Amino acid sequence: MALKKGTEVELTIESTAFKGKGVAKHDGIAVFVPGTAPGDVVNARIIKKKKSFREAKVLEIVTPSPDRIDPKCSHANVCGGCTWQHLPYSEQVKHKEQHVRDHMERIAHLNPDIVRPIIKCENDFYYRNKMEYSFGTKRWLTEEEIQRDEFVDDTAFAAGLHAPGRFDKILNLNECHLQAPISYQILDFVRNHCIQNQIPAFDIYKKEGFMRHLVIRNSHFTDDLMVNLVTFRDEPETVNRLKDELLNEFPQITTIVNNVNDQPNPTAVGRFENILYGPGFIVDRIGNHSFKIHANAFFQTNTQQAENLYAVARDFAELDSGGHLFDLYCGVGTLSLFMADKADKVTGIEIVDVAIENANFNAKENGVENVEFVLGDMKDTFNDEFLKENGHPDCVITDPPRSGMHPDVVEQLCNLDVDRLVYVSCNPSTMARDLKELKEFYNVEAVQPVDMFPQTYHIEAVAKLTRI
């Protein structure tokens, strides 16, 4: 049978691939099917045809996999937040570890045995310290509503998460299990308050309305809880009334802020911010250091597992005898500070100016004096002139974005005569691409997967490299 677009076919899912899609084979052609588990037999429709593979949508699960379980959340099959709730956590981590092994072998051409057993997350639900919910005027219809013969109106005040691939439609959440339960309870309260008081959601097309986002941050090591109301206009009376009702219902809240984003961009970062209650920040800790986390500051989303990730990086860096450490893509300096007590000096480089400001602030707040942070684009800043000004490192840690390192940075690291290199990655496929180049100059001794995001396909990994 030719697998053309629109063809319906029965498939047996054999494995999983990147982004959590199930993989089946049909006449030697790989077919990627989201929402499936190895062992599933499904009826599916081909929705995309490529030269070497196909993509399909499940129409019916004919025979469920022995590993398949009922998702905890009623939205799991349509929400983009969780892609693997239909698999037990023990199976999720097996697939994630195998993905890292596959990337090392197929992309980096390394022996997959260098990949260590994955470090699991202690809590596979309620592990996030931040959730960003959105408001909108169009809700995502359920499959049952889509299949109805009669017209179903999708215009309504919706509060939840964006439907996968849609910037204009909101999945109106009835539950969420990624952050502590109070997070969804606050979302539901704010939604009901807005409906009852006729406070409109922001209309992305008409550029009018009021409520844009609700961002909730909670601390892992303290009881701090922040509510950030992101609105289209500055209306003190409206937000203060909501603030008072929130505090009455949820006395656990320690601070409430109002970010006002009156610009066309869809972000939850306001052009300015009003503190409505409390100090305007929460405090959390990684290792021995505390961090003041403001509404728009970056902080690792899984605090507890971030400690485990950083501990691996510190172990791989082997800084027991001190030395000068470079921290490339240092962000707000959390990893730099975590490493500082093991190093004589830490020099961080970051392109985002606000992140550098936060990094310097965090260092000062924690009394750490042996760190310095440099603002600049990595590919332009990390060069021979930089080395002349800042000295030669004994170890380099690099923690690039999902796209991996710029080729110029990879080349500089290849030419850099440094004993140890530690690569922290949120995307093992791009890390494997970079390791393919770096392995000509370094031994890749170990790769440690760390699961920061249970119920999703995302996986972090740390690689240890030593100079040949």
Indicate the domain borders of the chain: 8-68, 93-123+302-467, 130-294
Helix (H/G/I), strand (E/B), else coil: 146 = helix
Range of weakest confidence among 57-61, 75-79, 202-206, 246-250:
75-79
Q: Whole-number mean pLDDT of the chain? A: 93
Class of domain 130-294: mainly beta
Q: What is the DSSP letter of 400?
A: -
Q: Are 72 and 125 in contact (CB under 8 A)?
A: yes
User: 381 falls in which pLDDT band (50, 70, 90)?
Assistant: very high
Q: Residue 207 and residue 205: Cα distance in Å, rounded?
A: 6
Q: So what's the pLDDT on residue 162?
A: 86
Q: So what's the pLDDT on residue 320?
A: 83
Per-residue pLDDT tens for 256-280? Answer: 999 999 998 889 999 999 999 999 9
- Burial of 408: CB neighbours in 10 Å, binned 0-12, 13-18, 19+: middle
Structure-block tokens of residue 331 = 């962000």
Sheet holding 442-450, edge to edge: 371-375, 345-350, 324-328, 395-398, 420-425, 460-467, 442-450
User: 458 falls in which pLDDT band (50, 70, 90)?
Assistant: very high
Q: So what's the pLDDT on residue 456?
A: 94
Q: Are 382 and 328 in contact (CB under 8 A)?
A: yes
- Residue 153 pLDDT more than 70? no
Q: Are 461 and 449 in contact (CB under 8 A)?
A: yes
Q: For 177, phi and psi rounded to 5 degrees? A: -120, 20
- Neighbouring-strand partners of residue 139: 170
User: 149 falls in which pLDDT band (50, 70, 90)?
Assistant: low
User: 168 falls in which pLDDT band (50, 70, 90)?
Assistant: confident
**Is 0.95 topped by the overall pTM?**
no
- Residue 146 pLDDT more than 70? no
Q: What is the DSSP letter of 113?
A: G
- Residue 147 pLDDT more than 80? no
Structure-block tokens of residue 355 = 């992140």
Q: Residue 229 and residue 268: Cα distance in Å, rounded?
A: 9
Q: Given 3-state DSSP classes, what are the helix, strand and coil percentages for the chain, each rounded to the nearest 5? A: 25, 30, 40
**CATH fold for the domain made of 93-123+302-467:** Rossmann fold (3.40.50)
- In angstroms, the Cα distances linking 400 to 331, 410, 441 are 10, 11, 20
Q: Are 178 and 99 in contact (CB under 8 A)?
A: no
User: Of 121, 194, 330, 426, which residue is the catalytic one?
Assistant: 426
Q: So what's the pLDDT on residue 417?
A: 87
- Residue 438 pLDDT more than 90? yes
- Topology match between the domains 8-68 and 130-294: yes
The CATH number fitting domain 8-68, selected from 3.60.15.10, 3.40.50.300, 2.40.50.140, 2.40.30.40: 2.40.50.140
| Residue type (1 letter), 395 | C
Residue 426 known to be catalytic: yes
Structure-block tokens of residue 39 = 């062992």
Q: Residue 307 and residue 299: Cα distance in Å, rounded?
A: 12
